[in-house]
Amino acid sequence: MKIHKKIGLSVLALSTIIALQACGTSATKSTDTASKSEQTTITVATDADTKPFTYSEDGKATGYDVEVARAVFKELPEYKLKVEITDFDSVVAGVDSGRYQLGANDVGWKKERAEKYYFSAPLSKSNNAVAVKSALKVSGFKDLAGKSTEVLPSANFTTTLKAYNDANPDKASQLNYVDGNYPIASRLSDVDSGKIDFILYDAISLKTIIKDKGLSDLKVVNIKSDTVDAHDGLEYFIFTKDEAGKKLQGKVDKVLKKLQANGKLKELSEKYFGGDFVPSADYYK
């Protein structure tokens, strides 16, 4: 009797354990399914035309900014990331209107933008530079007096040139406004052909595109504004300026700090920029 009783108790215990494990597995699956169904979709906008920060490869957006965004949201399972390609002006306008929750497009900081958007911790640090014909000697904006360029209405570099022209009307350059759909590569080709004299942009992009397009008659010269801004050379993600955007900014910044510390940002920088252009840890406090 004792033996049968022990066997009966053992079978009962085993059945209980199996049942509990089954419930646990079922609960886990249920939780996993629920978590996926409860994910919030975050749409990141990019023009996929600012290589190496963002560009299209085999019909898919990639580049440093885009891959940093993907790396960030791998650490945030509560969100599902969707990448949408549009022109640059629509990137900033779309975030402003709330159509997009995030802009990833080599976006620089300026006061007017800070009134409309939240900015992430910086993603990379480059230098402002001009692309000119190799024969043209340039060391500063004064050397661009009377020279022509093509600019986008909402770009930081346009603001920089306008500010210099306003402060130095006798040394002003000629700004020809182009549509946001007119890519930087085409504007560089216009410098190469002699249609315009220079392009002010970030050094990383200029060097990458000139190399890719074989524009061997062009050179890139680092250039500084008369007043050095603490944000010069830095680029960021931008978020909607509302409660949801503020919350997302906080989460993204926390992950960016982690990716800076564990070397992931450096890895992506070396892959897409050919060097380490990640800001120091001080920027990620």
Backbone angles phi, psi at 55, to 5 degrees: -160, 175
Q: What is the tens place of the pLDDT at every residue in 82-116?
A: 999 999 989 999 999 999 999 999 999 988 899 99
The answer to whether the beta carbons of residues 238 and 92 sit under 8 Å apart is yes
Q: Give the C-alpha separation, 36 to 100, whole Å.
A: 21
Q: What is the pTM of this model?
A: 0.73
Looking at the DSSP bridge assignments, the partners of residue 130 are 200, 221
pLDDT at residue 181 in the model: 85
Is residue 27 scored above 70 in pLDDT? no
Q: What is the tens place of the pLDDT at every residue in 204-246?
A: 999 999 999 999 999 999 987 655 578 888 999 999 999 999 9
Tokens representing 72 are 């960030």
Give CA 101 to chain center in angstroms. Answer: 13
Q: Which long-range contacts (CB under 8 A, 24 or more apart) does 183-188 make?
A: 183/49, 184/49, 184/50, 184/209, 185/49, 185/51, 185/209, 185/212, 185/213, 187/150, 188/131, 188/213, 188/215, 188/218
Q: Give the C-alpha separation, 64 to 70, whole Å.
A: 10
Q: Across residues 57-75, what is the average pLDDT? A: 97
Is residue 274 scored above 70 in pLDDT? yes
